């Protein structure tokens, strides 16, 4: 086996210093074009591959960013597969008339955030490490990730404050979807309250508060709290309070929306339902349809997030579109900034939202 080319070989072939080779590979625009082309030609001729581990040791960097999500998803509902034990099954045909029995991905919002983070990390030359804290009350997963990365992105309140504070003493931390709470982290957030206020105003044009239901998310969700704040602000504008509204709660999954919708049917269906996210709204529509109720003729329904399934639903779901991909990209940008300028003042980026009025609400 022939010897692997080293950076010294490239420098000798291109007749430049080792530092120049490093600059060409990491910051090509900082090197004169003639020199850059000579170095890149030497790299190609020798088949040189930079050693990420060696470079990381020299710079005390790994080149890896971490992204940690909580474990509230429906992956455990999907059929388990053991490719070593299960025999391949022949194809078969079924008559498909309803999606009630088809497992649905629960956190499409996080899928889009992840996609944005991946795109931005790749653009900036980082590798992205993903961790999901499913059934991880001691937060060993996030501690493990933090020990392997240059910086960490976490969803707001997915990590206990004391754990996050200890991690932030070692590496930079960016918090997604939650405003600053007296901390020194960088934050990426959105105008949850304002958007929910505007959406609720639209619904209240055609629905009296006492015929309105609200499907809330988990009690410890920062996004959920802000959306509830925006909802009650709109009620106050028409002289109503939350006591006039039927309140049910889910956990942001479609299945919890089905359960909440069935509960509302038993209690007497409202004329309008405002859900704190799209997945629960779609689940409630499933339950209404199963009970023989029509959307929007019998019940108007709105969601929040703007996932693809909301646009594909029939009727299409009125919702608030979050810039989900931009949330992920902005988080990586803030983390890269913090790595370059560790003493910079904490920064909060607030991204705008867009209300999409569709058939499910039939607002005037």
Mean per-residue pLDDT for 92-119?
Answer: 66
The pLDDT assigned to 108 comes to 72
The pLDDT assigned to 258 comes to 97
Q: Is the pLDDT of residue 90 over 90?
A: no
Distances in whole angstroms, Cα of residue 141 to Cα of each of 65, 66, 259, 332, 338: 15, 11, 31, 20, 23
Phi-psi region of 182 (alpha: psi -120 to 50; beta: other; left: phi over 0): left
Mean per-residue pLDDT for 158-178?
Answer: 88
Q: Within 13 A of 314's CA, how many CA atoms are on the CB side?
A: 2
Q: Within 13 A of 111's CA, how many CA atoms are on the CB side?
A: 12
- How does residue 279 score in pLDDT terms, banded at 50, 70 and 90? very high
Q: Domains in the chain and their CATH numbers?
A: 10-50 (1.10.260.40), 64-84+102-190+324-352 (3.40.50.2300), 192-323 (3.40.50.2300)
Helix 7-14 to helix 18-26 angle (10° resolution) is 100
Question: Residue 297: CB partners within 8 Å, gap ≥ 6?
Answer: none
- How does residue 1 score in pLDDT terms, banded at 50, 70 and 90? very low
Polymer length of the chain: 364
Q: What is the pTM of this model?
A: 0.72
The pLDDT assigned to 142 comes to 83
Which own/partner contact pairs does 242-246 have at CB distance under 8 Å and 24+ positions apart?
242/214, 244/209, 244/210, 244/212, 245/209, 245/210, 245/212, 245/213, 245/214, 246/212, 246/213, 246/214, 246/270
pLDDT digits (tens, 9 = 90+) for 226-262: 999 999 999 999 999 999 999 999 999 999 999 999 9
CB of 155 within 8 A of CB of 327?
Answer: no
Q: Which of 38-52, 126-140, 288-302, 325-339 has the lowest mean pLDDT?
A: 126-140
Share of the chain above pLDDT 70, in %: 84
- How does residue 154 score in pLDDT terms, banded at 50, 70 and 90? very high
3-state secondary structure 96-108: CCCCCCCCCCCCH
- How does residue 2 score in pLDDT terms, banded at 50, 70 and 90? low
The pLDDT assigned to 65 comes to 93
When the pLDDT of each residue in the chain is averaged and rounded to a whole number, the result is 85
The pLDDT assigned to 79 comes to 59
Q: Which phi and psi angles does 21 have, rounded to 5°?
A: -60, -45
The Cα 4–Cα 17 span in angstroms is 19
Mean per-residue pLDDT for 165-181?
Answer: 88
Q: Is the pLDDT of residue 293 over 60?
A: yes
Q: Which of 51-65, 120-134, 305-319 has the lowest mean pLDDT?
A: 51-65
The Cα 227–Cα 303 span in angstroms is 11
Q: Is the pLDDT of residue 4 over 70?
A: yes
CB of 328 within 8 A of CB of 299?
Answer: no
CA angle 151, 154, 157 (to 5 degrees): 140
Residue 323 or 101, more confident: 323
Tell how strand 173-176 and strand 319-321 pair up: unpaired
């Amino acid at each position: 086996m022939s010897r692997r080319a080293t950076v010294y070989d490239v420098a000798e072939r291109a007749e430049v210093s080792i530092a120049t080779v490093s600059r060409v590979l990491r910051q090509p625009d900082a090197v004169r074009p003639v020199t850059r082309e000579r170095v890149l030609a030497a790299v190609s001729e020798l088949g040189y591959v930079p050693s990420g581990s060696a470079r990381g040791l020299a710079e005390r960097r790994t080149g890896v960013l971490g992204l940690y999500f909580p474990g509230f998803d429906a992956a455990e509902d999907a059929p388990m597969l053991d490719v070593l034990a299960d025999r391949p099954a022949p194809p078969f045909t079924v008559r498909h008339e309803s999606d009630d029995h088809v497992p649905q991905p629960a956190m499409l919002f996080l899928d889009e955030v992840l996609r944005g983070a991946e795109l931005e990390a790749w653009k900036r030359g980082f590798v992205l490490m993903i961790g999901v804290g499913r059934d991880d009350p001691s937060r060993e997963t996030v501690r493990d990730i933090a020990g392997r990365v240059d910086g960490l992105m976490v969803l707001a309140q997915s990590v206990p404050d004391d754990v996050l504070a200890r991690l932030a003493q070692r590496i930079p931390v960016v918090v997604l979807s939650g405003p600053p709470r007296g901390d020194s982290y960088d934050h990426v957030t959105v105008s949850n309250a304002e958007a929910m206020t505007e959406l609720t105003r639209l619904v209240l044009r055609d629905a009296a508060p006492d015929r309105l239901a609200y499907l809330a998310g988990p009690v410890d969700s920062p996004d959920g709290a802000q959306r509830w704040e925006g909802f009650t602000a709109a009620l106050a504008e028409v002289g109503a309070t939350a006591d006039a509204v039927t309140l049910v709660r889910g956990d942001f999954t479609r299945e919890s929306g089905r359960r909440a919708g069935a509960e509302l049917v038993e209690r007497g269906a409202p004329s309008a339902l405002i859900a704190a996210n799209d997945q629960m709204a779609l689940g409630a529509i499933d339950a209404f349809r199963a009970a023989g109720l029509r959307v929007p003729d019998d019940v108007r329904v709105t969601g929040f997030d703007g996932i693809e399934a909301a646009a594909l639903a029939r009727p299409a779901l009125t919702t608030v579109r979050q810039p989900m991909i931009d949330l992920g990209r902005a988080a990586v940008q803030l983390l890269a900034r913090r790595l370059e300028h560790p003493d910079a003042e904490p920064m909060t980026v607030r991204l705008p939202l867009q209300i999409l009025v569709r058939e499910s609400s039939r607002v005037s």
